[in-house]
A and B are shown apart, each in its own frame.
Chain A
Amino acid sequence: MAKPTDIIKKKRAEAVSRIIGKGYLSSKRVYVGMATCEIAAGSKEVMEVFKNAVTKGGLTDVYLSQKGCAGRCNLEPTVEVIEVGKNPVRYGKINPEKAQQIIDKHLKKGEVIKEWVID
């Protein structure tokens, strides 16, 4: 019988391929913070904007995911954009309007919106 360590290795490889199957290797990955505190600050609405853009708005080559709290309470909701070959960009205090602008400027045209970036 297979050892637990072998089973877990297989499971891990399967998990990785499932994640890749969901589009992890897209040229851009977008993460929206979705802990209770972030949701209270309005991240659910922000997530909706991104979801809509991916499903209806023709935003392609983007992997969208939620994540837990990274600890930046005073800057929530946070949105993180990881682009191939570039340093990750973290935006703070994002609302639905700002989210739309991130889609229009950053995700579609590649322009980082500097004034919202957390450093």
Chain B
Amino acid sequence: MSKKYIITICDGTGCIQKDNAAIRKILEQQLKEHNLTNDVRVNLSGCLGMCDKGPIVVINPGYTIYGNVTTNDIPEIVEEHIVKGKPLARLAIQEDHLYNRFFRIFGDAKFFGKQMRIALRNCGIIDPENIDDYLSLRGYEALAKVLTDMTPKQVIEEVKLSGLRGRGGAGFPTGVKWQITARAGSPNSPRSASDEKYVICNADEGDPGAFMDRSAIEGDPHTVLEGMIIGGYAIGAKQGIVYIRAEYPLAVRRLEKAIADAREHGFLGKNILGSDFSFDIDIRLGAGAFVCGEETALIRSIEGGRGMPRPRPPYPSVEGLFGKPTLINNVETWANIPVVILDSGKWFSTVGTERSKGTKVFALAGMVVNTGLIEVPMGTTLREIIYDIGGGIPNNKEFKAVQTGGPSGGCLPAKYLDTPVDYESLAKAGSIMGSGGMIVIDHDSCMVDIAKYFLEFTQNESCGKCTPCREGTKRMLDILIKITEGKGEMYDIENLERLGNMIKKASLCGLGQSAPNPVLSTILNFREEYEEHVKDKKCRAGVCKQLLTYEITDKCVGCGACKKVCPVVAITGTTKAKHIIDQNKCIKCGACFSKCKFDAIIKK
């Protein structure tokens, strides 16, 4: 017998309780008896997430999972599986799912406990630059299955059945999009220009603080490629394009290597895996304009034009790249496809909520203990994400709001913490799902300032094609600056609302239509903060500089340190006597505040 095996015994709490130690003992005895100790390795793993079927024993290669194993079963497993090389059907659990491989490696640490990894199933596990690692974890098997057993129509039906929706943020049903693109250009379609079609992967991730797509491509580029090839087969395209920003050099490099390796193995190119289907993928680099994440602007950019959106319809599914039907999906959407095919659309549709299926990747950032990249089933509440996975707010501070959807999304206050994460619930609460940015805000942040930050970003990135977005966001920003400087009037708040709603309705593309969201949602949920800025000229978080006053209290010992650092000589006082800040001269730079060793200077 020459074949080598690795036997992994689950060592999670559940299996320990069911006496996995006895199983290990008997197993090692048995291996010794059969003189197999040199050929078989026994491993322990963290919780595999199948506690109800414990004790669990996994045998690799092959990834055969045995459940409810008793010590009496061990001799049989060794005899049949290891010696004879035949997996034992009686005990094997048919759970060769692609998802949740994570538990095998990382165990049941709190950070991963509530997560479910489908799109990121290999991220942080495999070497992304080695196609063998991907292949060993059932890589490209979904593609082979599609090419062997499924017609393009069946593939589309499977994706429709899964209930997968676009992960770029808008949430359009992916299967329906595939179907429309597949039908476009056919003789029955009104626009039957030619049979040429394109597949595009939108990796132009532009939200500040978002890094889902970058991590997915850097951690597991092949799954995105495999999804795209399957998409190409389903709609009848021959060419795929990944549009990725040039600011992601490592992701681009790994993608290039992945494409080259896939070509070498015959997963790309002519007659893929011996079938009559041919498909290839190229990379186009974006120059980092936020608007190019919008599909029509992205297509314009690939065509060599200036990245500007155009009105829809016609949608890219009908008239896209070079006027041909084009299937455009986000990185995360593509990464889900191999799982939908291999684990079946029916299984996929059991994850998540009624209308939002599967999982969603979030870049958890801001004032939270465990910042990080997470993937949770749809329907997980914001509270679970922020407190259970994120570990809560650092320094025992209090939660104030969570911002989802980046510059297109909104801020939700504490009363929405139990909102389940899905497309409809988040929209109902006044924010959006977006592509997956999630920023936690504590009471040290000023909501007006945050709205200003996001609007500054969208205003900068507005392409200028349509007036509501170009001029409207500029005027909104002017008003916000006015308010944060303490020069606001009460009618400014109403003007912001009026202007915001007008921009939403009248803008050409998603950038303008969503740009006012951060402002509108903060006015809706934190109106009192806006009013304080206007009426009382106060910023309760102490962020808006112009509204601050620094004062020296009786704690002052007259050391003179503050006087020395003040750049505008606003502080006066003699040595060993209390100093005074001249409020008319003070520029609120905060230098004295950070210099004082005696906590004698307060910010109000």
A51 adjacent to chain B (CB < 8 Å):
no
Chain B hits for A113, CB < 8 A: none
Closest to B391 in A: A74
Closest to B254 in A: A68
Pick the contact of A15: B42, B111, B132, B145 (CB < 8 A): B132
B552 adjacent to chain A (CB < 8 Å):
no
Asked if B372 contacts A74 (CB within 8 A), the reply is yes
Among B48-56, B133-141, B305-313, B323-331, the one that faces the other chain is B133-141
B506 adjacent to chain A (CB < 8 Å):
no
Given contacts A8-B140, A85-B43, A36 and B148 within 8 Å (CB-CB): no
B208 adjacent to chain A (CB < 8 Å):
no
Chain B hits for A85, CB < 8 A: 41-44
Bits for B239-270, please: 1 = Cβ < 8 Å to A, else 0.
00000000010110000000000000110000
Task: Tell me the residues in window 61-104 of chain A with beta carbons closer than 8 Å to chain B beta carbons.
Answer: 65-74, 80, 82, 84-88, 90
Chain A hits for B135, CB < 8 A: 11-12, 14-16
In the assembly, what is the distance between CA of A71 and CA of B124, in Å?
8
B374 adjacent to chain A (CB < 8 Å):
yes
B543 adjacent to chain A (CB < 8 Å):
no
B373 adjacent to chain A (CB < 8 Å):
yes
Distance from B552 Cβ to chain A, minimum over Cβ atoms (Å): 37
In the assembly, what is the distance between CA of A22 and CA of B43, in Å?
19
A39 adjacent to chain B (CB < 8 Å):
yes
Distance from B189 Cβ to chain A, minimum over Cβ atoms (Å): 29
Asked if A12 contacts B136 (CB within 8 A), the reply is yes
Asked if B218 contacts A68 (CB within 8 A), the reply is yes
Asked if A90 contacts B144 (CB within 8 A), the reply is no
Chain B hits for A72, CB < 8 A: 111, 370, 372
Chain A hits for B147, CB < 8 A: 4
Asked if B42 contacts A69 (CB within 8 A), the reply is no
Task: Tell me the residues in window 102-154 of chain B with beta carbons closer than 8 Å to chain A beta carbons.
Answer: 105-107, 109-111, 120, 122-133, 135-136, 138-141, 143-145, 147-149
Chain A hits for B371, CB < 8 A: 73-74
Distance from A50 Cβ to chain B, minimum over Cβ atoms (Å): 14
Chain A hits for B374, CB < 8 A: 71
Bits for A8-42, please: 1 = Cβ < 8 Å to B, else 0.
10011111101110000100000001011101000
B220 adjacent to chain A (CB < 8 Å):
yes
Distance from B342 Cβ to chain A, minimum over Cβ atoms (Å): 11
Mostly helix, strand, loop or mixed at chain B's interface? mixed
Pick the contact of A68: B143, B219, B248, B369 (CB < 8 A): B219
Closest to A69 in B: B215
Asked if B274 contacts A36 (CB within 8 A), the reply is no
Chain B hits for A16, CB < 8 A: 61, 132, 135-136
B529 adjacent to chain A (CB < 8 Å):
no
Asked if B274 contacts A4 (CB within 8 A), the reply is yes
Closest to A11 in B: B135
Asked if A8 contacts B124 (CB within 8 A), the reply is no
Interchain Cβ contacts within 8 Å, total number = 149
Pick the contact of A4: B4, B123, B148 (CB < 8 A): B148
Chain A hits for B248, CB < 8 A: 36
Distance from B135 Cβ to chain A, minimum over Cβ atoms (Å): 4
Asked if B250 contacts A39 (CB within 8 A), the reply is yes
Closest to B251 in A: A36
In the assembly, what is the distance between CA of A12 and CA of B136, in Å?
5
In the assembly, what is the distance between CA of A25 and CA of B248, in Å?
34
Asked if A15 contacts B215 (CB within 8 A), the reply is no
Interface residues in A, total, Cβ within 8 A: 42
In the assembly, what is the distance between CA of A75 and CA of B23, in Å?
35
In the assembly, what is the distance between CA of A25 and CA of B42, in Å?
11
Asked if A118 contacts B41 (CB within 8 A), the reply is no
Closest to A12 in B: B135
A115 adjacent to chain B (CB < 8 Å):
no
Asked if B129 contacts A36 (CB within 8 A), the reply is no
B11 adjacent to chain A (CB < 8 Å):
yes
* Most chain A CB within a 10 A radius of its CB, from B107, B130, B132: B132
Asked if A35 contacts B219 (CB within 8 A), the reply is yes
In the assembly, what is the distance between CA of A47 and CA of B372, in Å?
21
A5 adjacent to chain B (CB < 8 Å):
yes
Asked if B4 contacts A67 (CB within 8 A), the reply is no
Closest to B247 in A: A36
Given contacts A19-B136, A36-B214, A84-B41, A70 and B145 within 8 Å (CB-CB): no
Pick the contact of B138: A12, A18, A66, A74 (CB < 8 A): A12
In the assembly, what is the distance between CA of A1 and CA of B276, in Å?
12
Pick the contact of B265: A4, A11, A80, A88 (CB < 8 A): A11
B275 adjacent to chain A (CB < 8 Å):
yes
Asked if A33 contacts B370 (CB within 8 A), the reply is no
Asked if B127 contacts A15 (CB within 8 A), the reply is no
Chain A hits for B11, CB < 8 A: 87
Distance from B255 Cβ to chain A, minimum over Cβ atoms (Å): 13
B45 adjacent to chain A (CB < 8 Å):
yes
Chain A hits for B148, CB < 8 A: 3-5
Bits for B479-508, please: 1 = Cβ < 8 Å to A, else 0.
000000000000000000000000000000
Pick the contact of A1: B120, B126, B251, B274 (CB < 8 A): B274
Distance from A17 Cβ to chain B, minimum over Cβ atoms (Å): 9
Distance from B4 Cβ to chain A, minimum over Cβ atoms (Å): 6
Chain A hits for B128, CB < 8 A: 66-68
Asked if A20 contacts B4 (CB within 8 A), the reply is yes
Chain A hits for B105, CB < 8 A: 80, 82, 88
Closest to A18 in B: B132
Pick the contact of B140: A11, A14, A74, A119 (CB < 8 A): A11
Closest to B368 in A: A74
Given contacts A5-B148, A67-B126, A19 and B132 within 8 Å (CB-CB): yes
B6 adjacent to chain A (CB < 8 Å):
yes
Distance from B124 Cβ to chain A, minimum over Cβ atoms (Å): 3
A-B CB proximity, top 7 nearest:
A68-B219, A70-B124, A71-B373, A15-B135, A4-B273, A8-B144, A15-B132
Q: Offer 12 A-B interface pairs, CB within 8 angstroms, sorted by A.
A: A3-B148, A4-B145, A5-B141, A8-B144, A66-B127, A67-B128, A69-B218, A71-B373, A73-B373, A85-B43, A88-B46, A88-B106
Q: With A68-B122, A73-B365 given, can you name 19 additional A-B contacts, CB distance below 8 Å? A: A1-B274, A4-B143, A4-B147, A4-B273, A7-B274, A8-B273, A12-B141, A15-B132, A15-B136, A16-B61, A19-B136, A35-B214, A68-B123, A68-B220, A69-B218, A71-B124, A71-B372, A74-B371, A88-B46
Query: B-contacting residues of A (Cβ < 8 Å)?
Result: 1-5, 7-8, 11-16, 18-20, 25, 33, 35-37, 39, 65-74, 80, 82, 84-88, 90, 118-119
